[in-house]
Every structure is written in C-alpha cells, then in structure tokens.
Structure 1
Amino acid sequence: MTESKVQALPVEFYTRFFSELATSRKPSPIRSLFPLERTPGLISLLAGKPNPTTFPLTSIKLTSRSPTNPGEEIVTEVNGKALAEGLQYGPSDGIPDLLNWLYGLQERSHGRKKGEGWRISVGSGSQDVIYKTFLDLFNTGETLLVEAPVYAGVSSIFSALRLELIEVETDAKGIVSQSLRSILENWPAGKPKPKALYTVPYGCNPTGMTAALERRKEVLELAHVHDFLILEDDPYYYLYFGQAPRVPSYFALELEEQNVGRVIRFDSMSKILSAGIRIGFVSGPEPILRSIDMHTGFSHLQPPSLTQTITFSILNAWGHDGFYTHTQAVSQFYHDKRDVFETAMKKHLDGLAEWTRPEAGMFFWFKLLIGNGTDEGDSESIIRTKAVERGVLALPGTIFFPGGKKSAYVRASFSLNTPEEVDEALRRLKLVILDARGEQA
C-alpha cells in the first residue's frame, strides 16, 4: 500500500477558528472511554447501558426496490448483533459499519481516502451537523461570507448567532469570484476577515444553479490566500442531471492544493433515501469533527443507532454500485420533472418571466417581469397575497437575501406536483403577473 502524499493542515491551524463555546467544552468522562470497551479481554463496568435482553424488538425486516431492477425487491432482515447495536447506545460520530460504508462512498465520489487528516461524523440529518458546525466555529457577531441568494433554512442559525453576513454575488455559474475577490481585497484594515464561506454548489436552493469548475477553483484559491474555510452544503450532489460530466466538489478539488483541510462538506440522504430517516453526515478536518462529536455528546449523545442500522442495511445490500444506480434513477426522475415544469413555464410565462434552466436539484428560480425599467420590481406582495388568493403557493425571492432586499425573483419547487397541477399553477400565476402589469389575459 503506497503512502498518501496528501498533506493535511496541522492541528494548531484550526485553533483560531473555534468559538468560545467549542473551546470551553470538556470531553465526557464516560463517552471518551467507550472505545476501550472494544479492547480484547477487557471487562467493562463503565457505562449505564441497558441490558439488550430487555428490549422487545427481535428482528426488523426491510423491503427495498432493487436499484438495478425496480421490478424486483430486496429483502433484508436486521437481527442478532446488528440489531443489538441498533438498539443500544453508540458512538457520537456514528456506528462503525455505516461510517465505513460512507468512507468508501467519499473515496469513490470525491477521491478522499481515510488517513489523510479528515474523517466523517453522522448526524440527525445534515441540518444537525450544519448547526453544530456553525456553533463550534462562530462567536456571536463574527463575520461570515454567504452566497446571495442563500438557502433560507440556515438563516435562523445566522440570526441566532447574530452573525455579520457579507453577501457574495452569484449567477448561473455560481459564486461570482470577482465579487468575492473584490470584497476580500477591499476589506477594512484592522477588521478580522471572515472565518468561512457558506455555499450550496449543486442545484442550489433557491437558485438551482450549479457552480462551474473555474469558479470553484477561483474560490478555493481565494480561501487559501485570504485564509477562510469553505462550508460546502451539498444535499443535491446526487441530483445532478446536466449533460456535461459532474463537476468535482470542493472537497475533491482541494486535493490539488498544497495543504488540504479548508473544506467542510455536508451530505444528506434525505433526497435519495428518505427525508424522514434523518441521516446526514459531515466530512472534514479531524480537529473540527472532534469538536462536533463533543457537541453531539453534550446535546443528544449520538445520532439514533436504529436509523443508522436500517440505513446501513439498505446501503450494504445495494453496495456502492447499486447506490450509484439508484441515484442515477433519482436524478433522471427530477430531470423529467424539471422538463415538465419548464414546458409549462414556456406555455404560460413566456414574456412574463425569465429563468435559467437548472441542471440539478428541484427548484426553478425565475424573475417576474414586473419592473418599470429603472426598478425590477418586488415579488413579495404578488406572491404572498395575490398568488395565494388565486390558489398558488410559492416563495418570494426576498426571503433568500439575508438583508431582506427587494427581489423580483420567485422560487418554485418541481419535486411533487403532477403535470396537470404544474400546468394549472402556472396558468394561475400568469393571471397574477398580468394583473400586476396592468394587462388583460
């Protein structure tokens, strides 16, 4: 086995990135000793774990569609040692079997191997590990770079920490690197520069954009020059349906850097296995992951062992090849959904809205043509009131801008509705837009 040439950043590099909350935590005197229980010959009197013979569940039978032949079903039974592990307390970072499977996934998807200064922690959905990461990296009032518009689901975290948000311009190719460069090169003297940049680079929620390769490389270069971390939130990575080959992730691209360890990557099983199963995971530098695990140990001890065991049973039955086959089918499903939605947009909104066709994810981001030449207009009242009155529910663009600026844009999801519902919704929206423009249908 050849020795890895990847050079990880030293542990002390991360010291200045941690929040006061993170540095004040002390390891649990009990959970920190859990790994010793696996020592051969050691008799553990350590933990107050309930005796598994008292648990009523004796087996769980799972039936899943075959990823290679949807007409067939794969039956997996969880029992014995695997079920016992799933019913018991477990490690804060996740059960070993699932972690090992995910390490294999990250190696195949992003070229990242174990033993290179990074590791994985499982969370109760990716939002769980995103929240912990922000609390572990930021003190109240510190500065964060965010792409604008930005995923509204993290805005409550930003608000709770009262972060100073610096909005970076985006377009159909992702973060406008020249905008980011200008912000950093003109940063006020004496003011600490931002610790991190938050981005959703594939099928971005809300814009649907997928960041181009050259933009990603420029952002990575700026991260190195201006010394910030990249928080890569990528729940739509496996929902890519563009015709061009998939662009490498930031997590993969940083292998081209002299030192690796500036990217913290968040993945989710919500869009490809089940939203309700609440399995997400974070991949990143060991010092930061240790802090996240300590946070987990303090808040709820661990991600649920049983849902991890169920998830692993399905993934293990499929294998990595089966997983990729499944995600290809899922991405094709959303590709078709996108085409249905765009067909209806062309039918009803041609000349009334502008958009760029998304190549990943499940959202259209389109601008209502309601301006007067000098002002693009604001979709807020139109979407929140007039559209709802006509029976259409979508999101006005303003909620995706941290500063709450006016926006003529609208975010619409194409994941659930039937073609008939899509057609009717956009027919109704057309009437709303015409009314806002003072025109007749």
Structure 2
Amino acid sequence: MVTVSSTLSAALLQAHRRGPKKSLPAEVYSQFLSDAAKERKPSPIRGLYPLESRPGLISLLAGKPNATTFPLTSIQLKARSPTDPEQEITTDLSGNALAEGLQYGPTAGIPSLIEWVYGLQEKEHGRKKGEGWRVSIGSGSQDVIYKAVNAIFNLGDSLLVESPVYAGVIPMFTALRLDLVEVQTDSQGISSDSLRSVLENWPAGKPKPKALYTVPYGCNPTGMTATLERRREVLRLAREHNFLILEDDPYYYLYYGDAVRAPSYFSLELEQPEVGRVLRFDSLSKILSAGIRIGFLCGPDALMTVIDMHTAVASLQTPSLTQSIAFALLDAWGYAGFRAHTAAVSAFYRTKRDVFERAMRTHLAGLAEWDAPEAGMFFWFKLLVGSDTEEGDSESIIRTNAVERGVLALPGTVFLPNGRKTAYVRAAFSLLPPEEVEEAIKRLRDVILDAKKAQSV
C-alpha cells in the first residue's frame, strides 16, 4: 500500500504563501449575501457574550442555568489508541472542561475545539489563524452547508453544481428554487473545460452564479477526486468570473489513491493574488463518529458572521457537550495521533474498495463499466443495458428488480439535478463483509442479465 502524506510539504507551503496574502475587502461580500442574510441582526444577548470575560466585570446578562444544579460530575471516555488498536486510551472529562461542555457556549463553538481546528487547518492546509478567515462549528457539515447556502442565495439565483452531485444537498437547493447549472465531471473530477464553457457562454443580462458547489475528494456519488490541475483552473475561473467555491470535503481524510493527495481549494487559494473565495466544510462523521454530529466551516470573516447569526436564532449553538467530548479525545491524541487515526481509516476503506472491485470484476465484467474510486465509500458504475443509440435506464432495474432480488442500491437519477434518466448506479461498500459483497454483486449480475434478456425480446 502506498502511504500518502496527509500534510503539505514545507516546500509546497512555502510556494503557496509567496509572502503575505491580501484578503478580499469585507465590502465585496455584500454582493454574495442573500436578502435574508443582509437583514439578519446580531442576537442582543449572544452578541454581548464576549464581554463576560472582561476582568472585573459583573455580568447580569445571560439566563444561564446555575451549573451547581447539573447532575453530571464526570465523563470517562475510552478509545482505541490511534497508533495501536490493541490498546485503549482513557480520558476523563471533568472540572472546567466538563463545565464548559454542560453550559451554553459561544455561537461559533467552544474555544478549546475552535483552537484545535485552527491548528489542524494550519497543519493540513497551511492556513493560519488571524489571516481574515475563521472557524464555526456545526452539527455536522450538512448543518453549516445549509446555513451557508441560505446566507448566500435568494430564491431563483443560479448555482454551479458538479454533475452528478451529492443527493443530500439537492433538497436544500430546490427549496430555494435555485437554477442548478450542471458542470460535467469525469475520472479526474470536475471538468474545468465544462465549467469554463458554461461561464463563457452565460446568457447576456442574466446574473452569473454566485458560487460553485463541489465535493473534491471521493465525490459522492462518483468516488472521483479532482486533480491538482483541475483545482487550479477552477480557482482561476472563480477569480475571473467572481464566484465563491463551496468546498464540501467530508472524504478528505478518506483518500487512499496511489498519487500524493492534491492540496485542497482552501490551501490552493494561497496561490491566488487574494484569498477569501473558498468556504471549506469539514466533517468528523466519517472518521470519529457519525452520531456525534460535529462538522466545521472555515471561511472569510464577513460570511462567517452572518452564518453565525443564523445559528444564534436557529439553535443558539452546536451542543457544547458533544464538542467537549470530541475535543477531549482529539486533544488526548494530539495532531500526530489524529493523523495516524485518519491514515488507518483511509487504509481500511481502501481494503473495502479492493474487495468490492474484485467482486465486480468477477461478476460484472462486460455488464457494467466503472472507474475505481480514490477516496470515500462509493462505487459509481454504468449498467450496460442500453442500445447502440440510447443509454439504458437504471431506475426500474435498481429500484424494483434489484430489490426483488434482495439487493438495495441507488439509481443514478437521484444524483442528477434535473432527474433525467441514466444507466449509472451508486453502491456503498463501507459496511458489508466480503461474503455479503460477493452475494450482493452476484444478485446484481442476475438483475442485469434479466434486464438484457427482456430488452432483447
């Protein structure tokens, strides 16, 4: 197995920086804000929270419950060692750390976890605290994606989306009746040629898109990872055509490709004359716990402010206790331990990928086409059930026939914004043991053969 470095080399970081970077002026972001975001006002209570830490100040501000009434006195966490799975690490959450987790906290996140994320983003992406961007913790990355989308778009605005696109965001886009403009993808990720063509042929008089939504590593559903050249071209186009990049990256730490992992958009924008066009969404769901619901957004101050205002009125904050639990574990590991853990996770999914592909080669050769994913937990494959003149349709084959045969997958149409028919299918390989993978692919083979037989009748 090829070991892939999870951090940028010092030489690459130096090349990226090329001296201090200028952030886009705060007033520039007004053009990207939705009408609702422009009307948001700071919480009259939460906006004053920072003053409570001023020495000598007696606060009569917040209606916080008295902590002496909370029954929890300590929480003990046991976790596998990131460097030796046979060993356990025990961490106690008590004292001030527990008190922080049991009480209301800052809207953007508890200070300890926020600081940990700043350190992580500097190590992974070369972005330093105090350079015009900041962090906001969300209840999973989907939470902060939703808030960012509502902060940027008005009803009917245009949004560039890679096609196929993660099905989980389509409902939030359609709820705003966004004009979803598809950008094609292939085995190298998003097609910068397709993006350039869309932008250069944009209808005169129609406002150009405010943003591009992309999943650059292990894209859900295709599993593809955008190459370095594609990413750089997308960044150039973002500056040329004045749009933001919504970098949804839940599979960044699940990269297991043979090539060295390409830098993120958040990192690569350091090569640009100015920074501040990338909003980066990270998640701990795939590497720590899906149920803990911790994700984080990093982006320019001006946009983060209105996103935090949304949180302040919607839920006040991401639960402090889950943040404290996550931080206690991450702090006990340290960044080296976190890196070791994520390397083990990516190796685990590479093995799962290989098992699944072996079964596909054995049973679906000549019946389906695919490119092996380089990250994530999905295969995206095309059923060879069409004719010479028309692509097949996986909808009824997968949604009805496959279920009757005892196997469940997703027809590709749910990942296409316009819902058109497609021969593609998404299959998840994250959970099944090898014997169930083998049986599932055998059943899919029978389904495809039945479809081809019916077509020839």
Residue in structure 2 matching 1:106, options 121, 125, 139: 121
Helix, strand or coil at the partner of 2:350: helix
Helix, strand or coil at the partner of 2:354: helix
Counterpart-to-counterpart distance in 1, 2:187 and 2:342: 24
User: Does the aligned pair in 2 maintain the 1:4–1:116 contact within 8 Å?
Assistant: no
Counterpart-to-counterpart distance in 1, 2:290 and 2:439: 27
Answering whether residue 291 of structure 2 is matched by residue 272 of structure 1, we say no
Counterpart in 2 of 1:27? 42
The structural deviation recorded for 1:4 is: 6.6
- Once superposed, which parts of structure 1, at least 4 consecutive aligned residues long, lie more than 4 Å away? none
The structural deviation recorded for 1:297 is: 0.2
Helix, strand or coil at the partner of 1:144: strand
Answering whether residue 146 of structure 2 is matched by residue 131 of structure 1, we say yes
Residue in structure 1 matching 2:52, options 37, 40, 53: 37
Counterpart-to-counterpart distance in 1, 2:30 and 2:443: 54
Answering whether residue 384 of structure 2 is matched by residue 369 of structure 1, we say yes
Counterpart-to-counterpart distance in 1, 2:238 and 2:133: 18
Answering whether residue 217 of structure 2 is matched by residue 202 of structure 1, we say yes
Counterpart in 2 of 1:58? 73
Counterpart in 2 of 1:438? 453
Superimposed CA distance per residue, residues 82-132 of structure 1 (whole angstroms, 9 cap, x where no aligned partner)? 111100000000000000000000001000001110011000000000000
Normalised TM-score (structure 1)? 0.98
Counterpart-to-counterpart distance in 2, 1:181 and 1:41: 58
Counterpart in 1 of 2:226? 211
Helix, strand or coil at the partner of 1:438: helix
Answering whether residue 157 of structure 2 is matched by residue 180 of structure 1, we say no
Counterpart-to-counterpart distance in 1, 2:174 and 2:242: 24
Letter in 2 for 1:19: S
Residue in structure 1 matching 2:255, options 240, 253, 275: 240
Counterpart-to-counterpart distance in 1, 2:18 and 2:366: 59
Counterpart in 2 of 1:299? 314
Counterpart in 2 of 1:71? 86
Counterpart in 1 of 2:349? 334
Counterpart-to-counterpart distance in 2, 1:66 and 1:227: 45
Counterpart-to-counterpart distance in 1, 2:197 and 2:381: 27
Counterpart in 1 of 2:4? none
Counterpart-to-counterpart distance in 1, 2:253 and 2:211: 24
The structural deviation recorded for 1:339 is: 0.3
Counterpart in 1 of 2:303? 288
Letter in 2 for 1:255: L
Question: Which residues in structure 2 correspond to 1:339-358 (within 5 Å)?
Answer: 339-358=354-373
Counterpart in 2 of 1:381? 396
Superimposed CA distance per residue, residues 40-94 of structure 1 (whole angstroms, 9 cap, x where no aligned partner)? 1111111100000000000000001110111111100011111111000000000
Counterpart-to-counterpart distance in 2, 1:68 and 1:338: 23
Counterpart in 2 of 1:5? 20
Counterpart-to-counterpart distance in 1, 2:26 and 2:224: 34
Counterpart-to-counterpart distance in 2, 1:205 and 1:45: 48
Letter in 2 for 1:243: D
Letter in 2 for 1:49: K
Letter in 1 for 2:396: S
Helix, strand or coil at the partner of 1:391: coil
The structural deviation recorded for 1:3 is: 12
Superimposed CA distance per residue, residues 369-388 of structure 1 (whole angstroms, 9 cap, x where no aligned partner)? 00111111110000000000
Helix, strand or coil at the partner of 1:428: helix
Counterpart-to-counterpart distance in 1, 2:152 and 2:375: 29
The structural deviation recorded for 1:169 is: 0.6
Helix, strand or coil at the partner of 1:431: helix
Answering whether residue 319 of structure 2 is matched by residue 309 of structure 1, we say no
Counterpart-to-counterpart distance in 2, 1:3 and 1:336: 39
Counterpart-to-counterpart distance in 1, 2:203 and 2:400: 41
Counterpart in 1 of 2:5? none
Counterpart-to-counterpart distance in 2, 1:223 and 1:113: 22
Counterpart-to-counterpart distance in 2, 1:216 and 1:174: 9
- How many equivalent residue pairs? 439
Gaps of 5+ in 2: 1-16
Helix, strand or coil at the partner of 1:34: helix
Superimposed CA distance per residue, residues 377-436 of structure 1 (whole angstroms, 9 cap, x where no aligned partner)? 110000000000000100001110000111100000000001000000000000000011
Counterpart in 1 of 2:246? 231
User: Does the aligned pair in 2 maintain the 1:202–1:209 contact within 8 Å?
Assistant: yes
Gaps of 5+ in 1: none
